[in-house]
Structure 1
Amino acid sequence: MRNWGEHFGLIDMRTRAGARARGDAEHIALTAEIAMPLLRYAELPPWQQATARAAAVALTLDAAVVAGTAAARLHRIDVPGTGQPAVDVLHVDGKRPGGRPLKSSGIRQRYAWLPDDGVLVKHGMRVTTIGRTLRDVCAFEGLVAGVIAIDSVRRRMPDVPLGRWHEELLVGPRFKGAAVVREALALSIHNSGSAAETRARLLLRGVAGIVTIVAQAEITDPKTGRRYYVDFLINGWLVLEIDGDVKYDGVTYGPVDEIIREERRREKNLHNMGKVVVRTNDPREAPAVVAGALARYGHMGPMGRR
C-alpha cells in the first residue's frame, strides 16, 4: 500500500510542527487532526480527494479500521463513483468504536465481525486487508461495485486462483451480504481492462441476442499475422470498444488526431476480417449500442459484413 501521508503531504496537527496548520488559510483540515496544503488538495480530482480523506482518517484511528470503499481507494482498488460522502470504519470483533475521531463528520461506523488478521497497519494507517476490503465493498455497496473491485484486484493479481478468493472473502461466521459476495466472485474475471469495461460487461447480460462475449479478445489477421486486442468480442463478429475519457485527453496516449487515425486504420483492418466495430465512452450506453448493432448486422454472414 502506498504511503499516502507522504504522497499527499498530510500534516498531523497534533504535533508541535503541525499545529501551525490549524486554522491556517493555506491548509485544509481533512479531519480534526490531519490537514494538507489547500492548493494541493484543490488540484486533485474528486476520487483522489476521497483517497486523501480516507488516508487522513486511517492515520487517526487507534482501535477502529478504515473499511469498504475508502479502504479500496487506499489499496488502489477500482470502485465506482468519483467520491464518497463518508469514510467507513469497522472495529475488530464488531465492537462499537468510540473516541473523538469517530464522532467527526464524514465518518460512518459499520458494525460487522472483523478478526485481527483482517487488519493491515502500514505507514501509520489502519485499514482492512485486500480480501476483507473486497468482501465489505460487496456487502456494503452491492453487486456492481463488488464485481468492479474484485475484477480490479484479479487483474492486478492474475496468478491467484478464484478458489483462493472464495476462501478469503467468505471466511468466518455467516454475515449479511454473503450472497452478494458469492455472486460477485462468480461474475468476476481476471482480465477486465478497466472499471468501465466491468460495468459494461455486467450491463450487457440483459441484451437479447448475445450468445457469446469474450473480454480482452485476441483477433489475428490471417493475412498478416498481426494481433489485435479488443475490449469485447460478441458472437464472434461484433467488437465493442469502451473508450475512457483519458484516451482523448491529448496527453496520456498522445495527440488526439493520431489516436483517431490509428483507430480508423484498426477498424478498417478488423472490418476486412468480417468484424463490425462499435464504440462508446459511457458503459451505460453499451446495451443500446450492442443491441442496435445486433439488429442491424446480425442477419448478415461474415462475407456480408465485409
Structure 2
Amino acid sequence: MLTMIRHHDDTYAYEPLTRRWSTPRLDYEQAPAHEKLDLHTRVAAASVRTAVITGLAAGILHHIPILNHANQVVVHLTLPGRQQPPPRSQWENSILRYRYAVLPDTDICLIGGNRVTTLARTFTDICTINGELEGLAFLEAALHMGHSKQEFQAYIDRNDHRWGMARAQKVLDQALYGIESVYETYARYIITTMLPALQVDPQAIIPIPSRWYYDGFSRRRVDLLIERFIIIEIDGRIKYQQSQDKLIEVLSDQMYREKHLIRHGYHVLRFAPWELRTLLIPTLTQTLGMLHCDHAPDVHQIPNLQAGHPSWDNRFAVA
C-alpha cells in the first residue's frame, strides 16, 4: 500500500500530493491506478474540512467495491449547500477536483469523521460523473453487500427533479441482486451493449454430481450463461493465490466441474479480469461463429435476480 508522508522538501525522492502530503516517488510512479485512488482518497480525508468527498472516492470510504474502468485517480469534492468551489486555478492540476453541484445536508454523512456523500447520493453522482457502467458496478456491489433497490429508488423518487436522475433510474432498472463481483457486472454490461441480440443469464444454476457422495448433487452457479450453452467464468488472482495443497484442490474441483459441464453440452470460457477489456468480445464472437448448438442443454436453472436477494445468499434473503 502506498504511504502518506507529511510534505518533504526532497522533491526527487517524494511525490507531492498536496501542500501537506507527499508519498515516495518511485512507489507512486509504479503503482496501479486503484492504489493511487486509494491513496488520494486517504489524503483527501486527511486534508479537506468543509468539502464533501463524493464519487468513486466516496464509494471507497463506504467500503463498497468499485470498478474504476477508466483508471481514474482524481478525488471529486463537492461543497455543501450551494457554495461555489474555489477558483479553478487553485485545484485544476491537483489530485482533488471540485464539482459544481447542489449538495443538501441530507445527502451528507460521516464515515470515520470524514464528510462523505450518502450511499444513494454517491450512486447517483457516480452515474453522473463516471457513466452508467461505473454506476451499475457500484450499485450491484452495494446490493451484494446487503442494500436494497428500494433504498436507491426512494432517493431517486425524492429527487426526480434533479439533473442526472433519469440516468440513475435507467441504471437502477438494470441492476441485479446476487452479482458477486464488479467484473461480472462489467462482462455482462459489455456483452449486452456490444452484442445486444445475445441471451445473457447471470448466476445460472447447474447441478454437478458430488465428488464425495454417491448419487449426490451440488448446485453450482456460473458467472454468465450465454445463449444457454456458453459459460463464462471470471477468475481473479486471489482464487489461485493459495497454499500448494489448497491450490491443487481448487484446480481439481475446477477440472471436475468443467468435465461435467462439457458432458452436458456446455462450452466453458474462462477469463481473468484484466483480459475482459480486450479478449471477451472477440473470443465470444469467434466461439459463437465456430460452435452451433441445435439442442441447448436444459439442466440449468435461471434465478430471478430482479426482485431481491437470492436464496443462496442467506445473509440477506427473505423467506
Q: For residues 41-190 of structure 1, what are the structure 2 equivalents within 5 Å?
A: 45-77=32-64, 78-81=66-69, 83-98=71-86, 103=91, 105-157=94-146, 160-169=147-156, 171-172=158-159, 174-190=161-177
Shifted more, 99-108 versus 171-180: the winner is 99-108
Counterpart in the other structure of 1:218: 205
Q: TM-score, normalised by structure 2?
A: 0.75
Deviation at 1:141, TM superposition (A): 0.9
- Structure 2: gaps (5+ residues): 210-214, 298-319
Alpha-carbon distance in 2 for matches of 1:259, 1:173: 48
Structure 1 residues 144 and 170: CA distance shift in structure 2, 3 A: farther
Write the deviation string for residues 225-250 of structure 1: whole angstroms up to 9, x where unpaired.
Answer: 122221112333321112334444x4
Deviation at 1:110, TM superposition (A): 0.5
Q: TM-score, normalised by structure 1?
A: 0.78
Identity of aligned residues (%): 26
Alignment counterpart, residue 276 of structure 2, candidates 275, 280, 283 = 283
Structure 1 residues 74 and 39: CA distance shift in structure 2, 3 A: farther
Alpha-carbon distance in 2 for matches of 1:252, 1:151: 31
Deviation at 1:153, TM superposition (A): 0.9
Cα RMSD, aligned residues only: 3.3
Deviation at 1:257, TM superposition (A): 6.1
Q: Is contact 1:64–1:91 with CA below 8 Å preserved after alignment? A: yes
Question: What amino acid is the match of 2:139?
Answer: I
Deviation at 1:267, TM superposition (A): 0.7
Alignment counterpart, residue 226 of structure 2, candidates 211, 214, 234 = 234
Alpha-carbon distance in 2 for matches of 1:136, 1:170: 15
Residue-pair matches, total: 285
Q: Is contact 1:59–1:124 with CA below 8 Å preserved after alignment? A: no
Shifted more, 254-263 versus 237-246: the winner is 254-263
Deviation at 1:151, TM superposition (A): 1.2
Shifted more, 119-128 versus 28-37: the winner is 28-37
Question: Which structure is higher in helix share?
Answer: 1
Write the deviation string for residues 92-151 of structure 1: whole angstroms up to 9, x where unpaired.
Answer: 123113399964722211111211121122333222122111110001111111111111
Answering whether residue 185 of structure 2 is matched by residue 198 of structure 1, we say yes
Counterpart in the other structure of 1:32: 19
Counterpart in the other structure of 1:17: none
Shifted more, 92-101 versus 162-171: the winner is 92-101
Q: Is contact 2:224–2:232 with CA below 8 Å preserved after alignment? A: yes
Structure 1 residues 268 and 173: CA distance shift in structure 2, 3 A: closer
Structure 1 residues 208 and 127: CA distance shift in structure 2, 3 A: closer
